[in-house]
Structure 1
Amino acid sequence: MKVHRNEVEAGCILEKEVMGMTSTPIIPKNTVLTERHIKVLRAFNITEIEIEKTKAEGRHHRSNQLPSQADASDTDQSAGASLSEAVRDKGFINTYLESVGEFKKEFTNWQSGMPINIAKMREITLPLIKTIEQNKFLLYSLNQYSTKKDYIYHHPIAVSILSSMLGKKAGLNSGQVNQLALAGVLADCGMAKVSSTILKKEKPLTESEFQEIKLHTANGYKMVKDSPLLKPEAKLAIFQHHERFDGTGYPTSEKSDRIHLYSQIIGIADVFHAMTSERIYRNRQPVFKVLDMIRKDLFGKFDIKVVNALMQLVGDLDIGTAVRLSTGDYGEVVYTKANIYTKPIVKLNDSEELLDLSQSKDIYITEVLG
């Protein structure tokens, strides 16, 4: 919806990118606005912007909506198609943020000692997973709605979605995928037993604080071990999701095939979403840059089959997909090389030049535009 700048509040989510006198956006689409962004709007004399009806914390934004051209006329078919697409995206955003809000309530209950309601976890995650299965493009926005303050509630929802999609890539059946999704959303349930002071800390953790954080895998297992609705392998994944293929993980430093497939899938989903999200003391990094880092810097930490599944799920863009590059240029994907999914050939919009990203180590995709 279109609103005046004076009605914009921190926590609003941009529905459409904000352009100024530059060729690249001042603020990209799907950004969760902060006070700094609002100052930027004033500095560039931007008077109107388009935001989502729901704010990042899940509440509706109350404002006087300004009429948009799309609302004023439905005679143009292409505009109509764009409008229906926007409505579909709004539906996902609202559902996603409501799910995060519901998860937050459950997490608070766990902190007070209440048991985990597995059926509620299924109710929270499955609608989102079904929606993303029909529109994979929504995966690229998952990390953008997370805020530093509420990261701990966004992260399990995103890990659940990513894990289920990776499970499908790995050839698991629907029952196994559902169990994987539940294990993903509950992987960090043991964090409810960690001191709230540590969870809210804005500086790097001390060694003793990190040791307390590491207990969340064992605590999480204790919280789910008696549930008849979770299979043994899902419970094991909650315990093992920080184990690494080379034996450098925790809690028991397991190696290679002693780490269950579910554990590896949730582990790589956990790392990917964490690296691409805003956290209390770490900034978000671009999706495709993170994929390259996982492929190179974390080589040997995960089974190569699980790494390849992530590359195919997130990195394999369809021909014609519009992208923005780290250079600020816009273009579209014209060819993707086998096993080099993160580095396709891109045709630049302005010059029609073909840019082979596999030959340009310092240039990467910063945004997938659809």
Structure 2
Amino acid sequence: MIINVEELNPGSILAEDIYVRTNRPIITARTVLECEHIKILKAFLVKEVAIENTQIDGTIMIESTPSIHNQTREEEKNDFLSLFLQTVQLYKKEFISWQSGLPVNIANVRTILLPLLEELETVSKEIFSLYHLSNKKEYLYQHSIAVSVISALIAQKMNYSYRDMIQVALAGCLSDAGMAKINQRLLNKIEPLTEEEFNEVKKHTRYSLEMIPEHTLLKNETRLAIYQHHERIDGSGYPMGNADNKIHAFAKIIAVADTFHAMTSERLYRKKQSPFRVMEQMHQDHFGKFDLTILQSLSNAITQFTTGSKIRLSNGEKAEILFISSTPTRPLVKTLQNDLILDLEKNRHLFIEEILEY
């Protein structure tokens, strides 16, 4: 929907890139607008912008009920966006109840997640644009839901049964339940944590296990995965420092999903990063810490583009993929502005920022 800049409120989500006499957008699509963004738009004399129908708090601006059979691809994306944001708000209510001392209701969490999980097959590509929605104030709640759906997608790509995929999703969502027992001052701290503070936060894995009861909807292995999701296969993780064969397969999946979403998201102390850049970092900088089969499954899910796909590079230029090499995140591309051929394998200073069109 189109709205006058003077009527914009923080929390609105930009639907289209904003260009002002530049080749690179001054603000990119899917940015969650804050006061600073609105000031920039006014400074550049932008009069109107397109925004998503759903705000970051899950509020729907204009109710509509389009026919599912007649929906366009863009409408499907927007439906998934709205569903994700509304799910985040439902989870937030559960989390706040845990902070007040109420028990974790497994059935409630499962019910909250199921509508999103049912969309995995049709909107899996949109999952990797969720990082645009990363919002400092809502990060903790967004992270749990994003880790859940990313974990479920990995499990699906690895041919897990539907039942086990649901278990992986539940474990991903509940892996940070114990954060409800951590001092809020630490959760909202802008600066990096001190060693003492980090050791306090690390207790959340134990708190999660203590908070989550044995339940017919939750396998014992799922509870174990929640406890182990910060373990690393080289033994460098926590809480036990377990190595490869002592870590449950579910936990290995959540470890990848958790790290991937955290690295792509905007945090109180860090800017968001491209999923393609993060994928490379996880393969290179974190080598030996994650299961390679799981990493490859996530990488394959991200790089579903084909020859002819339109992308945006890290320098802001739009390009078209000409040839996909053995490293999918670094194909041969042609810039759309001046038809320059670039081999991203050789131009390591550049990377794919995002896919614009498949």
TM (norm. structure 2) is 0.94
Query: Please, which of 296, 321, 343 is the counterpart of residue 356 of structure 1?
Result: 343
Aligned length: 351
RMSD of equivalent CA atoms: 1.7
1:113-132 alignment runs, 5 A limit? 113-132=101-120
Give the match for residue 263 of structure 1. 251
| Separation in 2, partners of 1:119, 1:149 | 27
- Cα distance in 2 for partners of 1:61, 1:172 equals 38
Instruction: Give the unaligned 5+ runs of structure 1.
Output: 63-80
Cα distance in 2 for residues equivalent to 1:103 and 1:320: 39
After the TM superposition, which of the residue ranges 166-175 and 241-250 deviates more from structure 2?
166-175
1:222 matches 2:205: no
CA distance in 2 between partners of 1:316 and 1:355 (Å): 20
**Matches of 1:346 and 1:206, distance apart in 2:** 43
The TM-score, its normalising length taken from structure 1, stands at 0.91
Q: Is the 8 A contact 1:322 1:369 kept in 2?
A: yes
The structure 1 segments of at least 4 consecutive aligned residues displaced by more than 4 Å after TM superposition are none
Q: Are residue 96 (structure 1) and residue 84 (structure 2) matched?
A: yes
Q: Which of 344, 352, 355 pairs up with 1:365?
A: 352
The residue that corresponds to 1:16 in the other structure is 16
* Residue 82 of structure 1, CA deviation: 11
Give 2:18's aligned amino acid: V
Give per-residue Cα distances to partners, 1:158-205, cap 9 Å, x unaligned. Answer: 000100111112221111111101111101001111111211222221
- Within 5 Å, give how 1:26-175 maps onto structure 2: 26-61=26-61, 84-175=72-163
Q: Structure 1 residues 222-231 or 259-268, which shifts more? A: 222-231
Match of 1:6 in 2: 6
Aligned to 2:227: 239
- For residue 61 of structure 1, report the CA deviation from its aligned partner: 4.4
1:273 paired residue among 241, 245, 261:
261
What secondary structure is seen at the aligned counterpart in 2 of 1:59? coil
Which residue identity is paired with 2:122?
Answer: Q
SS of the equivalent of 1:359 reads: coil
Cα offset for 1:206? 2.1
Moved more, 151-160 or 306-315: 306-315
Bigger mean CA offset, 81-90 vs 250-259: 81-90
**Deviation sequence 1:193-227 (CA, Å, 0-9, x none):** 11112112222212222111111111111122422
2:184 paired residue number? 196
**Displacement after TM superposition at 1:98 (Å):** 0.8
Q: Aligned partner of 1:144: which letter?
A: H
- Residue 121 of structure 1 deviates from its aligned partner by 1.5
Runs of at least 5 residues in structure 2 that lack an aligned partner in the other structure: 63-68
Separation in 2, partners of 1:260, 1:133:
25
Between the aligned partners of 1:258 and 1:298, the Cα distance in structure 2 is: 19
In structure 2, the CA distance between the partners of 1:312 and 1:273, relative to structure 1 (3 Å rule), is same
Partner secondary structure for residue 358 of structure 1: coil
> Which residue identity is paired with 1:111?
Q
1:285-364 alignment, distance < 5 Å: 285-338=273-326, 340-364=327-351
The equivalent position to 1:180 in structure 2, one of 168, 176, 187, is 168
Match of 1:252 in 2: 240
Tell me which amino acid in the other structure corresponds to 2:335.
L
Deviations for 1:299-354, whole angstroms, at most 9, x for unmatched residues?
0001211221121111342332210011222112232223x121112222123333
Task: Give the whole-Å Cα distance in 2 for the aligned partners of 1:255 and 1:84.
Answer: 47
Query: 1:75 matched to which residue of 2?
Result: none
Percent of aligned pairs sharing the same letter: 40
Shift, 1:60, TM fit = 3.5
Q: Distance in 1 between matches of 2:256 and 2:104?
A: 24
Confirm or deny that 1:25 pairs with 2:25. Answer: yes
Conserved 8 A contact 1:316-1:336: no
